[in-house]
Structure 1
Amino acid sequence: MPALTLRNALPTDAQRCFDIETSAYEGDEAATLEKIATRIAQYPQGFLILEENGEVVGFINSGCAHNVVMSDEAFKELVGHDAEAPNVVIMSVVVDPAHQGKGYAKHLMTAFVQRMETLGKQTIHLMCKQQHVPLYTRMGYTYVRPSPSDHGGMAWHEMVMCLEGASSH
Structure 2
Amino acid sequence: MAQTIRTAVEQDLDAIAAVEAECFPAAEAATRAEFAERLRYYGNHFWLLWEDETLAAFVDGMVTDAADLTDAMYADASLHNENGAWQMIFGVNTLPEYRRRGLAGQLLETAIAAAKQQGRKGLVLTCKDKLVHYYARFGFVSEGVSGSVHGGVTWYQMRLTF
Do Structure 1 and Structure 2 share a fold, with TM-score over 0.5? yes
The answer to whether the Cα contact below 8 Å between 2:65 and 2:86 also exists between their aligned partners in 1 is yes
- Amino acid corresponding to residue 72 of structure 2 in structure 1: A
Aligned residues: 161
Alignment match, 1:117:
116
2-structure distance, mates of 1:75, 1:34: 15
Q: Give the Cα–Cα distance (whole angstroms) in 1 for the partners of residues 23 and 53 of structure 2.
A: 20
Displacement of 1:55: 2.0
Q: Who is 2:157 aligned against?
A: 158
Identify unmatched segments of 5+ residues in structure 1: 164-169
User: Which residue pairs with 1:75 in the alignment?
Assistant: 73
Deviation at 1:45, TM superposition (A): 1.8
Which residue number in structure 1 is paired with residue 7 of structure 2? 8
Task: List structure 1 runs of 4+ shifted beyond 6 angstroms.
Answer: none
Question: 1:48 offset after TM fit, Å?
Answer: 0.8
Partner Cα distance (2:68, 2:102) in 1: 30
Corresponding position: 1:37 with 2:29: no
Identity %: 25
3-state DSSP of counterpart to 2:60: strand
Task: Return the alpha-carbon distance in structure 1 between the equivalents of residues 114 and 62 of structure 2.
Answer: 14
Instruction: Give the superposition deviation at 1:127.
Output: 0.2
1-structure distance, mates of 2:102, 2:134:
12
What pairs up with 1:24-103 in 2 under 5 angstroms? 24-71=23-70, 73-76=71-74, 77-103=76-102
Structure 2, unmatched stretches of 5+, are none
Relative to the length of structure 1, the TM-score reads 0.90
- Amino acid across the alignment from 1:75: M
In 2, the alpha carbon distance for the partners of 1:159 and 1:102 equals 23
Normalized against structure 2, the TM-score is what? 0.94
Question: In structure 1, how many angstroms separate the alpha carbons of the residues matched to 2:66 and 2:30?
Answer: 22
* CA RMSD, 1 decimal: 1.2
| Partner SS state of residue 43, structure 1 | helix
Which residue type is aligned with residue 79 of structure 2? G
Alpha-carbon distance, 1:100 to partner: 1.0
Q: Deviations over 1:59-116 (max 9, x none)?
A: 1111011123323x22112242101111111111101112111111111101111111
Task: Give 3-state SS (helix, strand or coil) of 1:136's partner.
Answer: helix
Instruction: Give, in whole Å, the separation in 2 of the partners of 1:12 and 1:79.
Output: 20
